Structure 1
Amino acid sequence: MVTKKKAVKKLQPYEIGELDHYLFGQGNHYEIYKKLGAHEVTAGKKGVYFAVWAPHAKSVSVIGEFNGWDAAADRMERQEPLGIYTVFVPEAKDGQMYKYCIETESGELIYKADPFANYAELRPGTASRITDVSHLKWTDDRWMESRKKWDNKENPLSIYEVHMGSWMRHPGREDEGFYTYREFAEAITKYVKKMGYTHVELMGIAEHPFDGSWGYQVTGYYAPTSRYGTPEDFAYMINYLHRNGIGVILDWVPAHFPKDAHGLADFDGTPTFEYADPRKGEHPDWGTKIFDYEKPQVRNFLIANALFWIEHFHVDGLRVDAVASMLYLDYGKQDGQWVPNKYGGNQNLEAIEFFKHLNSVVLGRNPGTMMIAEESTAWPKVTGNPEDDGLGFSLKWNMGWMHDFTEYMKLDPYFRKNAHHMMTFSMEYAYSENYILVLSHDEVVHLKCSMLNKMPGEGFDKYANLKAAYAFMTGHPGKKLLFMGQEFAQLREWSEERELDWFLLSEEPHQQIQNWYRDLLHLYKKNPALYELDNDPAGFEWINKDDIFRSIFSFVRHSKGKKKNLLFVCNFTPVAREDYRVGVPTKRQCKLVLNSDEKEYGGSGEKRKEIYKPVKKECDGQKYSFAYPLPAYGVAVFEY
């Protein structure tokens, strides 16, 4: 007897099949965002295919403008084994708002935004919007091709950290005056090119309900915030920056999410995205939920999200927020508020494996991109290879350097001799990770003062201190990041509620600081000695790190093969040293390439020689030396 084979239904590309379930269940469906969410399709006729993961829901309906928000109109079909609900709605159209009406196990109805939505209603609204992001227009082929060969270790990386909503606003408008993505693209490009940054890092781009969270409490992981325009506008911005040779980094938040009723918290009436045990699943200090890194589908949600920004929207890197809070089970918790791992320790073993998987996949699939860790502890091998038990990040924020540096700079110059080690200690561990030196938004809020107002003294002293600080940072090994407004010595602390105080640039001291930082950035970009050996001890040499009582630091940055080297001399006291002698490793002439005493930087404008010829006279342990009149808080950079 011949048995007939059961006919297998041929799936449409948008439909979810067995392979999708298998990969999502394993945590390896790296393009799951193309299946879950709302996608415009043609199934006989045009409409929208909705798919949502709600494993413990009793039932799910999609409600929206297309069906009068009627929960009975478009009930979704449950697919096993993972509990993914799907429905095709021919009446649904681009731009319409929608939500999922979820019936929980207890029979309660809850209304949730789509975790995979690509667009959202402008806050305070909380609905998702149907939008098609599958046909974005890109003309940045040259950038994307060159990115494949780009190496963050050997190339210049100077980052301008920006909060879009408060960088610049339209004055006098009845609405909030935000620049759109398109307007911002053109304005920021002009400014960044003038200043000399290589990359822009954008805070708070994924959709979030509360402005005061700065974008670090996300409800729409797959949606560029609607505050500044559509996803197409967002793509235009990335494309525009790339065409002008500027890289884009986004802040990315896989550590926690808010409890807003429309968000991920208790998504199907149970802890779906978060750990079920509140001792693992909640941050008591932040009032937020913690992702369950043990659950494959949750890991998949986050890894696919990282790939979505980098592959679909051409973003060049992600700065991963609050990494330390993910690595430690007891982060920000008291005894009794956390659960040890199976070995009795405080390490989150699932988060560690998540990072290794995340970084291996993102960087493996996208050569030339960056995964950057904001990690504030001494966790080993953050930028080490996963094969060697590292976490696999490209770069790590150097929070130790930032703390020591800012604490030193706050001191009255008279007391700096007692804290001299705070400026030299960082070189003891400079090569243990691939570092970025950061002066970020976190350092200029919550009564910490702006960078200028951290500086001691009044008037000239404040500005001169800041110039010396920025020069030291530029010369120190490590990539660079500075938060917006600090490049022109913003007086007030930053607030997301207003634009930067651009009017300060009408005052000479602020313009002079901007001139100084601009020329430091251009010096940095132009000289491989300042970036190509950041992770190699051969790239840095102290000339004198022990001039404690005069608080002067001198050092050399070497290029590969020592073809072109830069000597930095930084004076951190208000005492001029007219007879200052500095040692050099060679008899070759030294050319003064940057002098903080120039008039355009707020200095005296006193004329100085351009060329200095070392003589055979021992100084600073070097065979050769030359004399240079070093002003109060003076900085001089020489090329040889």
Structure 2
Amino acid sequence: MSKVIVHSLFSDFDIDLFKSGKHFKLYEKLGSHPMELDGVQGTYFAVWAPTANSVSVVGDFNNWRDLEHPLNVRWDGSGIWEGFIPGIGSGTLYKYNIHSNNFGIVTEKADPFAKYCEHPPKTASVVWDGDYTWKDEKWMDVRGDKNSLDKPYSVYEVHLGSWKRKENNDFLTYSELAEDLVKYVKEMGFTHVEFMPIMEFPFDPSWGYQLTGYFAPTSRFGNPEEFKFLVDKLHQAGVGVILDWVPSHFPEDAHGLGFFDGSHLYEHPDRRRGYHPDWKSLIFNYGRNEVRAFLISNALFWLDQYHVDGLRVDAVASMLYLDYSREEGEWEPNIYGNNENLEAISFIRELNETVYGNFPDVQTIAEESTSFAMVSKPVNIGGLGFGMKWMMGWMHDTLEYFKKEPIYRKHHQNDLTFSMTYAFTENFMLPFSHDEVVYGKQSLLYKMPGDEWQKFANLRLLYSYMFTHPGTNLIFQGGEFAQSSEWNYNQSLDWHLTQYEFHAGIQELIKDLNKIYKSYPALYEKQFSQEGFQWIDYGDAANSVLTYIRKGHKQEDDLIVAANFTPVPREKYRIGVPKSGTLKQVFNSDAKKYGGSGSRKSSVKTEKKSWHGFDDSIEITIPPLGIVIFQ
């Protein structure tokens, strides 16, 4: 086997950018790159290991023997080791053997920039030279409009390993998902899918949130080009793709990023800031330039190489606070004496500025569970710069309300109305995510009180309320047909349930809610603006009724929403309306096709009778545990 030839893809400018933390296309330089050098085919390797005394490439090409193919360290103090090995091509398995200056420690590591990895539990990196021709030009030309904050944004959250499986419980491949999943999402009317982490991860029960291969789509379902094919097919169907992304922590697996070159290279060296007690994982050192460049390069990689339309950033709260999930004495205040992680905040701002600077037609979405201010406001006015933020408070309060027996709900109306006191402080996405249907929390269906009919009626009401509340929406897989059991990452959803009337009814309801959301501008044009919402009456706690107006740019687009949170029909119920005329019913969650008790009057004329501060009013029937929408 030929020995290593001195070669570099780095210019002096590249190195200066890397050292200063401003090189955001490191995936073009670091890692393994099949290429031709002086007429010879082979692969160029480059890895950052500044504490190393020597670095060798080991793999199936040299029987994993150490020191046979040593890389050359650069002279410029960058800590980059590199070299070209002839005869190595796509499909070669490899790792880096790193002999550290630190007490002679030797580590064997997967490539942090590998674009493909062995199928877990195997841990080697794979040299990969895939070629893919995209066919999503139409989508890419218009996605800036489709991803706009004043357009419909309805997200279907998917765990690829459990959405659907084969009869023998094997995974569907990316290519098979490109048929089944794409067709289903299109049919259901969602505008976007959000994939729980698809970057390579070693441990199935982590659901993908403990990453070891940040630049590699997991090999569980196929190779990188097959994942591109799935994204491409979704785009061709007019569906955007959001990836869950985890820059908050990473596992301590021996082949991963931890203690990479015998030093705390990627993680913060102080365990009070570098170790996460909840997840028993390591926390990135956000103050280290090269680590920031690694993470921002990774974000841009998926947007650039995989045409991804958005990144949902996981566990942002754990990044923002030094005392997150820590007791007194387990954390150290910042230079101002408070609990904010200034380095992480700076990193997040730079991340969002860089993402939007390079890809202005995508969205970043924060999964952030605290009241940290201005998460989805621009960096130039002091915000963190995300496009949207998950509305965790709304989710929690709403589910707590719905769990209560209807007879007690009149005492808890504030659980529903409170969200409107802060709904426009951020660009909020309303999530019913995977986190709400695991660890004994029950499925959404079985959180609902009452007999079978009431459980399904409550769930129809919950979803209808969600779609008419300001903000964008996210529903986790299975929720759209009322999966009755908790989510199990290790098996398929219970698709057989869709043969039953009530489950099929929920599925029809979600289809129609997506259709209505996309068809009526009042539900999306001002979804993040106070101008897009007006209470008619939030004070009728005795009847557990809420009435409100959703508004678009044109007054004739306004929608009137009336919601009854009890199983008692509210007949001849009078509400004020902003102008006279005939109101047409455009939606009724109690319709028979959804499993309800039947449709009500399809239109109603206003009367010159002042009510709720309006000159005109209407008298309607609000169905039991139901919502009606009028235009």
TM range (shorter): over 0.9
Aligned match of 1:31: 25
In 1, Cα distance between the equivalents of 2:146 and 2:361? 5
SS of corresponding position for 2:209: coil
Q: Is 1:14–1:41's contact at 8 Å kept on the other side of the alignment?
A: no
Letter in 2 for 1:451: L
SS of corresponding position for 1:560: coil
Q: Is 2:7–2:82's contact at 8 Å kept on the other side of the alignment?
A: no
RMSD, matched Cα: 1.4
2:109 corresponds to 1:112: yes
Of the three residues 156, 164, 170, the one matched with 2:166 is 170
Aligned match of 1:516: 509
Structure 1 segments unaligned to the other structure (5+ residues): 1-10
Letter in 2 for 1:132: D
1:12 CA displacement:
11
Mapping 1:400-439, distance limit 5 Å: 400-439=393-432
Q: Is 2:49–2:80's contact at 8 Å kept on the other side of the alignment?
A: yes
1:72 CA displacement:
2.3
Mapping 1:555-574, distance limit 5 Å: 555-574=548-567
In 1, Cα distance between the equivalents of 2:353 and 2:548? 36
Aligned match of 1:325: 318
SS of corresponding position for 2:554: helix
Of the three residues 374, 391, 408, the one matched with 1:398 is 391
2:482 corresponds to 1:485: no
Mapping 1:117-136, distance limit 5 Å: 117-133=114-130, 135-136=131-132
Of the three residues 413, 434, 442, the one matched with 1:441 is 434
Letter in 1 for 2:109: K
Q: Could you list the per-position Cα deviations for residues 477-534 of structure 1 after superposition, in whole angstroms to 9, with x for gaps in the alignment?
A: 0000011101111111101011111111111111111111211111101111101101
In 2, Cα distance between the equivalents of 1:596 and 1:326? 40
Mapping 1:43-54, distance limit 5 Å: 43-44=37-38, 45-54=40-49
Q: Could you list the per-position Cα deviations for residues 256-276 of structure 1 after superposition, in whole angstroms to 9, with x for gaps in the alignment?
A: 000000000000011000011
Q: Is 2:464–2:589's contact at 8 Å kept on the other side of the alignment?
A: no
Aligned match of 1:155: 151
Letter in 1 for 2:613: G
SS of corresponding position for 2:161: helix
In 2, Cα distance between the equivalents of 1:71 and 1:244? 49
Structure 2 segments unaligned to the other structure (5+ residues): none
2:87 corresponds to 1:87: no
1:597 CA displacement:
2.6
In 2, Cα distance between the equivalents of 1:148 and 1:22? 33
Aligned match of 2:619: 627
SS of corresponding position for 2:295: helix
In 2, Cα distance between the equivalents of 1:149 and 1:604? 39
In 1, Cα distance between the equivalents of 2:442 and 2:464? 20
Q: Could you list the per-position Cα deviations for residues 189-239 of structure 1 after superposition, in whole angstroms to 9, with x for gaps in the alignment?
A: 111111110000000200000011111000000000000100000111111
In 2, Cα distance between the equivalents of 1:261 and 1:400? 38
Letter in 2 for 1:612: V
Aligned match of 1:41: 35
Q: Could you list the per-position Cα deviations for residues 547-567 of structure 1 after superposition, in whole angstroms to 9, with x for gaps in the alignment?
A: 101001111111102231211
Q: Is 1:66–1:91's contact at 8 Å kept on the other side of the alignment?
A: no
Q: Could you list the per-position Cα deviations for residues 80-114 of structure 1 after superposition, in whole angstroms to 9, with x for gaps in the alignment?
A: 31110012111211111100001122223211000
Mapping 1:117-516, distance limit 5 Å: 117-133=114-130, 135-172=131-168, 176-516=169-509
Q: Is 1:149–1:367's contact at 8 Å kept on the other side of the alignment?
A: no
1:286 CA displacement:
1.1
Aligned match of 1:4: none
Q: Is 1:467–1:516's contact at 8 Å kept on the other side of the alignment?
A: yes
Q: Is 2:373–2:383's contact at 8 Å kept on the other side of the alignment?
A: yes
In 1, Cα distance between the equivalents of 2:562 and 2:310? 34
In 1, Cα distance between the equivalents of 2:223 and 2:185? 23
Of the three residues 62, 73, 83, the one matched with 1:78 is 73
My pick for the range that moved more, 292-301 or 72-81, is 72-81
Letter in 2 for 1:81: G
My pick for the range that moved more, 280-289 or 145-154, is 145-154
SS of corresponding position for 1:627: strand
Q: Is 2:522–2:552's contact at 8 Å kept on the other side of the alignment?
A: yes
Letter in 1 for 2:616: Y
In 1, Cα distance between the equivalents of 2:161 and 2:197? 9
Letter in 2 for 1:146: V
In 1, Cα distance between the equivalents of 2:555 and 2:246? 41
Aligned match of 2:62: 67
1:245 CA displacement:
0.4
1:241 CA displacement:
0.7
SS of corresponding position for 1:563: helix
1:14 CA displacement:
6.0
Q: Is 1:373–1:397's contact at 8 Å kept on the other side of the alignment?
A: yes
Letter in 2 for 1:76: L
Q: Is 2:6–2:82's contact at 8 Å kept on the other side of the alignment?
A: no
In 2, Cα distance between the equivalents of 1:464 and 1:587? 32
1:447 CA displacement:
0.9
Letter in 2 for 1:141: E
Q: Is 1:24–1:297's contact at 8 Å kept on the other side of the alignment?
A: yes
Letter in 2 for 1:49: Y
Equivalent pairs: percent with the same residue? 49
In 1, Cα distance between the equivalents of 2:150 and 2:277? 41
Q: Is 1:21–1:81's contact at 8 Å kept on the other side of the alignment?
A: no
Q: TM-score, normalised by structure 2?
A: 0.97
1:535 CA displacement:
1.8
SS of corresponding position for 2:215: strand
My pick for the range that moved more, 524-533 or 176-185, is 176-185
In 2, Cα distance between the equivalents of 1:285 and 1:158? 31
Q: Is 1:119–1:231's contact at 8 Å kept on the other side of the alignment?
A: yes
Q: Is 1:14–1:34's contact at 8 Å kept on the other side of the alignment?
A: no
Letter in 2 for 1:89: I
Q: Could you list the per-position Cα deviations for residues 321-364 of structure 1 after superposition, in whole angstroms to 9, with x for gaps in the alignment?
A: 00000000010111222121111111100011101110001011
Q: Is 1:217–1:256's contact at 8 Å kept on the other side of the alignment?
A: yes
Q: Is 2:8–2:82's contact at 8 Å kept on the other side of the alignment?
A: no
2:52 corresponds to 1:57: yes
SS of corresponding position for 1:165: coil
Letter in 1 for 2:216: A
Q: Is 2:509–2:589's contact at 8 Å kept on the other side of the alignment?
A: yes
In 1, Cα distance between the equivalents of 2:598 and 2:272? 62
Letter in 2 for 1:464: A
1:151 CA displacement:
4.9
Letter in 2 for 1:595: N
In 1, Cα distance between the equivalents of 2:19 and 2:515? 49
1:539 CA displacement:
0.9
Q: Is 1:557–1:566's contact at 8 Å kept on the other side of the alignment?
A: yes
Q: Is 1:123–1:209's contact at 8 Å kept on the other side of the alignment?
A: yes
Q: Could you list the per-position Cα deviations for residues 246-293 of structure 1 after superposition, in whole angstroms to 9, with x for gaps in the alignment?
A: 000000000000000000000001100001111110011210000000
SS of corresponding position for 1:396: strand
Q: Is 1:205–1:250's contact at 8 Å kept on the other side of the alignment?
A: yes
Q: Is 2:6–2:84's contact at 8 Å kept on the other side of the alignment?
A: no
In 2, Cα distance between the equivalents of 1:13 and 1:316? 35
Q: Is 1:74–1:87's contact at 8 Å kept on the other side of the alignment?
A: no
2:609 corresponds to 1:617: yes
1:33 CA displacement:
0.7
In 1, Cα distance between the equivalents of 2:148 and 2:391? 16
